Amino acid sequence: MRLTPEQFWTYSEWLFQHNGLRDGMILALALSILGFLVGYLVSVVNHGPVEGFLKVSQVIGQLFSVDLPKFSFRRAGAIAGLAFKESIRKKILVLIGIFIIAMMFAGWYLDQSADYPARLYISFVLTATNYLVIVLGFFVSCFSIPMDIKSRTIYTIVTKPVRPLELFLGRVLGFTAIGTLVLLLMGLLSYVFVVRGLSHTHEVETIDAAGRVGQTNVENKHSHNFTLNDEGRGTTNEAKGHRHIVRKEGDKIVVGPPVDDLTARVPIYAKKLDFTGRDGEKNEGYNVGYMSEYQKYIEGDSLSMAVWEFDGVNSKLFNDVISYDLTISAFRTYKGDIVTPVGGIIYFRSSDEKVETERESFKVKEFQVDRRSIRTKLKGFKDGQPADLDFFKDIAPDGKFQVVIRCQDRGQYLGMAAADLYLRPADLQFWWNFVKGYISIWLQMFIVICFGVMFSTFLSGPVAMIATVAAIVLGFFGFFVDQLQASTTKGGGPIESLIRVPSQLGSQIEMDLGSRTLEEAIRVIDTWILTGVAQLKSAVPNFDQLGTADFVAYGVNLFGGLLGRHLTIAFGYFILTSLVSYFFLKTREMAA
């Protein structure tokens, strides 16, 4: 899992400093203007320019003077109840049976020998649930109103005291209620499936004569080594992403259940990460040639280093030990011994660089979390002289300090990003993080239902479903549109590509149609098409960013600021879709 910089933002930072509120208001204003212009053009065709303007103004005026003041939650609730019963009659609950069958067969194919089976199990249940409820959302929402319109029962509703906003809200609430019921049942089944699938115990298979060092039996395709202290307690080594607590009870050694596989870490990240070059000069870190620049690298056996700066660390979060995790990588510049890990040095120092801890050597654990810790009472140096230190008095008296990492081995490089080192106070309960992951799925389902109901107010059922699917696809794969726009590779846009395919022209061959004007016109049209799709993409929710399965699967606490952002986005799209639906339903009411 790789955290992007925007995932570090708090809710207020996203809303104000990074223009979340401004961008939302601009989108709402742009869609409002577009909706007014489209409504006016349609009204002009039917009534002429002057009367058409009056009709559109009348609809807008009735929204604020009649429909909002006289809105009734009782009537909306009644419509929601009818929508719920309608969904039950359509046998929507069959999805739960499909989900159960999928989990029954998944147990055969989810590989227990994987490096991190917990990630595999959690990713499967969250992804399967996400796709199933999204399918549920657009199927139940896209056909209801078109069927009422086809049977002409819609006209007996909208011309009665039931108002357009009540109709929209009732449909959305009813479909969301049935979706919530399905999601709750799926969530319970998923939690039981994950916990039962990962639950296992080991027995002691061998132990030395002193009763200290031993090995467990093979269970779930792995075993552990362990060492007991003088008190008869210890932990196993990490295997498959988890450990076991081992304790001696009388003459028997008991191995406890797995720990660290189902967690919700609450990471404290650094405010920034700086690099220095091989001669000690400041730089942005080295690029070793990888296409991804998520991690920057420091050179071994030189003055090159990475410095994380922490701020506002509360001493109350830690007792005698400060736990932290490393997820850094290594890059080797020469062949030879590729088994021995690359070595590094880590130490903590004060923000003024006058006090630092002793330098600790470590070996890089690639592709896994290296769980480490230091004590708050430790040895180090003050002004270059050896001294006994208290971490929160000498190194971080105001909550500020630095963590420095250097690479030991000549010709080797260590790679790291801002999120690859973080402090780790007490973990939260996994079940609550699992619930928050399902809240994120619920929000995506809710947005899909809002879009489906909105499209169904002016499109037929199949067309509304296609429009909703298009919005979902743009939401999940909008990054591909950005790549097409920003791409400088040859091959052209959609029209040019359609010409190249039957002509068997490779992307590296210049297109020659015999007319420079025609070729330039095709490229201009392609640019317009991509720009239009990009604008549509910016108007739909980014489902890829709304997904939080990786947080739960990788054991990272889904913090409230991110969930708050997702709730705000969902509410914003609810308001927008409700207004669009209102105007289309109002138009049908006036036409009737």
Domain ranges across the chain: 5-197+429-488+548-591, 204-259, 268-423
| 4 burial type by CB count under 10 A (0-12 exposed, 13-18 middle, 19+ buried) | exposed
Q: Which two tokens stand for residue 164?
A: 């357009």
CA distance 37 to 52: 11
Sign of the CA dihedral running 80, 81, 85, 86? negative
CA distances from 37 to 24, 42, 49, 582 (A): 20, 9, 12, 16
Q: Are 129 and 186 in contact (CB under 8 A)?
A: yes
Q: Which two tokens stand for residue 567?
A: 């709730």
Q: Which two tokens stand for residue 4?
A: 């992007």
Which amino acid belongs to residue 159? Answer: T
Residue by residue, pLDDT tens for the chain (592 residues) are 777 767 777 888 888 888 888 888 888 888 778 777 877 887 788 788 888 788 888 888 888 888 889 888 998 998 899 888 888 887 777 777 777 777 777 767 777 778 888 998 999 899 989 988 898 888 888 887 777 767 666 655 555 677 888 889 999 999 999 999 989 988 999 999 999 888 998 999 998 888 889 999 999 889 999 999 888 899 998 888 899 999 988 888 999 999 888 989 888 999 899 999 999 999 999 999 887 788 999 999 999 999 999 998 988 889 889 999 999 999 988 766 677 889 999 999 999 999 999 999 999 988 888 989 999 999 999 998 999 999 999 999 999 999 999 999 998 999 999 989 999 988 889 999 999 999 999 999 999 999 999 998 888 888 888 989 988 888 888 777 777 766 645 667 778 888 878 877 776 777 777 788 887 888 888 888 888 777 777 788 888 888 899 999 988 888 888 899 999 999 999 999 998 888 888 776 544 4
pLDDT of residue 90: 75
Q: Which two tokens stand for residue 549?
A: 């399965």
Domain 268-423 falls under CATH 2.40.128? no
Q: Are 280 and 353 in contact (CB under 8 A)?
A: no
Q: Which two tokens stand for residue 540?
A: 């739909």
Which strand (E) or helix (H) includes residue 253?
A: strand 252-259
- Residue ranges of alpha helices (H) inside 457-559 are 461-486, 494-503, 516-539, 543-546, 549-553
What number of other Cβ atoms are within 10 A of residue 537's Cβ? 20
Judged by DSSP in three states, 460 sits in coil
Residues paired with residue 308 on neighbouring β-strands, in sequence order: 273, 403
Q: Are 215 and 206 in contact (CB under 8 A)?
A: yes
Q: Are 518 and 400 in contact (CB under 8 A)?
A: no
CA distance 576 to 448: 13
